[in-house]
Amino acid sequence: MIAEATRKGQVKVLFVDDEFIEFRALKKKIADLSEPVVELEYSQSIGDALEKVRAARFDLILLDNRLMPNADFRDTVPELRGIGYTGPIGVVSTDISGGYFQEFPNYGVDFRIGKDEIDVQALQHIIREYVTYAVPDFWKDDYSI
């Protein structure tokens, strides 16, 4: 799969976090990212994110683990999957050490990452791994790892 937006050379990312300052911090951290071009949008709540995802196509969603009033990825990600979003979702949090994080694949989450770990290199890896990857037509001698 090569996501629609990346064919136009741009990756559309939705960042969901109830703290707007986190969005500004992320924008600052990836300001040097020139390849691929990333268009970053922001949602302050899962409700707003659901509306945005219904209205436009996003290549990637970065989702804060805890969103108001008291939801974590086990509640929010199934909601996003429930409206038919099949793109990658990464859970971002200051603390990803909770035992329940080990179950993230069961809830439709593709990866988890600490907020302080996100930088240009990490985002490039995430895009390469989950957005612009190509599924081979033939698998013989073509190992993913």
Q: What is the DSSP letter of 97?
A: -
Residue 26 phi, psi (nearest 5): -65, -45
Region near another protein per CB under 8 A, out of 10-18, 43-51, 67-75, 121-129: 121-129
Smallest gap from Cβ 31 to another protein, in A, equals 16
Site track 61-100 with another protein (rule: CB under 8 A), x = hit: -----------------x--xx-x-xxxxx------x---
Considering the rule CB under 8 A, would residue 8 count as an interface residue with another protein?
no
Residue 53 phi, psi (nearest 5): -70, -35
Number of residues that bind another protein (CB under 8 A): 40
Pick between residue 21 and residue 136 the one whose CB is nearest to another protein: 136
Considering the rule CB under 8 A, would residue 31 count as an interface residue with another protein?
no
Q: Which residues contact 113 (CB under 8 A, 6 or more apart)?
A: 90, 91, 92, 96, 122, 126
Smallest gap from Cβ 102 to another protein, in A, equals 6
Pick between residue 44 and residue 107 the one whose CB is nearest to another protein: 107
Task: Write out the residues near another protein by the rule CB under 8 A.
Answer: 1, 35, 78, 81-82, 84, 86-90, 97, 101-102, 105, 108, 110-114, 117, 121-122, 124-126, 128-130, 133, 135-140, 143-145
